[in-house]
Amino acid sequence: MVNVVRTNIRRAERAVVDRLQAFGVATVHEAQGRTGLLGPDIRPIWRGARVAGTAVTVSLPPCDNWMIHVAVEQCQEGDLLVVAPTSFSDAGYFGELLATSLMARKVRALVIDAGVRDVRDLTALGFPVWSRAVSAQGTVKETLGSVNVPVVCAGALVNPGDVVVADDDGVCIVPRREAGRVADASAAREAKEAVSRERLRAGELGLDMYKMREKLARAGLVYDDSPPGE
């Protein structure tokens, strides 16, 4: 079991990352076939942020944040730090000092399958964080982990350089090599939804717009217009 920091990773292209950022999580997740979503316990510590970035991944032991300090050095502008403990913990691995350091490197956000603290300061700084918990309980710096290895974060596989998209709906991972294709599919989906939205706003029913009535009848749905009893 060697603990390693991979210093040389391929990242998804910035232009594609930025396109994905604009679409948001729900659209991107649908556009790539409903894969890559982190579990719904990972929530933003403040509302309204929508970001995408290239993943720098951290695998670390529970209750030990030493490797986050190591990972900072591997971060570049446009990256997004993804932290996954090897065992469940809701302690606070990350606070305002680490955020200051990441912001100095133009890192876009943090996604962590654990807890964070200093959320008042993080909010004031405008640094976006998605986490499982908020806790003032600190961690130690005793045991190694690895940086830029594949990690499982809240049920999703993340490879370094993958695109991480995050907003109020949660967090979704787009594999690096799929990013362009998924951005195209997202754009197509959004265009289609824009049309649907206008028709629905005008009062058209989804039943008609999506042509569901016949399929419902075939499935045996019964409409009962008998008068209600008292």
Looking only at residues 76 through 115 of this chain, which bind its own copies when binding is defined by CB under 8 A? 86-92, 95-98, 100-101, 103-105, 115
From candidates 191, 211, 214, 226, binder to its own copies by CB under 8 A = 226
Q: How far apart are CA 32 and CA 27, in angstroms?
A: 9
For residues 32 and 43, give the distance between their C-alpha atoms in angstroms, rounded to a whole number: 21
Tell me the site size for its own copies, rule CB under 8 A. 102
Q: Binding its own copies by CB under 8 A: which of 110, 112, 156, 164?
A: 156
Kind of pairing between the strands at 79-85 and 151-153: unpaired
For the CB of residue 15, give the shortest distance to its own copies in the complex, in Å.
Answer: 20
Of residues 5-44, those binding its own copies (CB under 8 A): 5-10, 24-26, 29-30, 32-35, 37, 39-40, 43
Cβ distance to its own copies smaller for residue 48 or 191? 48
Q: Which of 17, 52, 109, 119 binds its own copies (CB under 8 A)?
A: 119
* Nearer of residues 15 and 216 to its own copies, judged by Cβ: 216
Rounded Cα distance, 9 and 212, in Å: 47
CA 11 to chain CA mean position, Å: 17
Interface with its own copies, residue 126, by CB under 8 A = no
Return the number of the residue (14 or 177) whose C-beta is nearest its own copies.
177
Under rule CB under 8 A, which residues in 201-220 are in contact with its own copies? Answer: 201-203, 205-207, 210, 212, 216, 219-220
Strand 110-116 versus strand 79-85 pairing type: parallel
Q: DSSP assignment of 80-113, as one string? A: EEEEEESS---SB---HHHHHHHHHTT---EEEE
Site for its own copies in 173-192 (CB under 8 A): none
Which DSSP symbol is given to 221?
Answer: -
As to burial, measured by CB atoms within 10 angstroms (0-12 exposed, 13-18 middle, 19+ buried), residue 203 is exposed
The answer to whether 160 and 59 are in contact (CB under 8 A) is no
Whole-number Å distance between alpha carbons of 56 and 9: 9
Of 214 and 227, CB closest to its own copies: 227
Segment 157-176, which members bind its own copies (CB under 8 A)? 157, 161, 167-170, 172
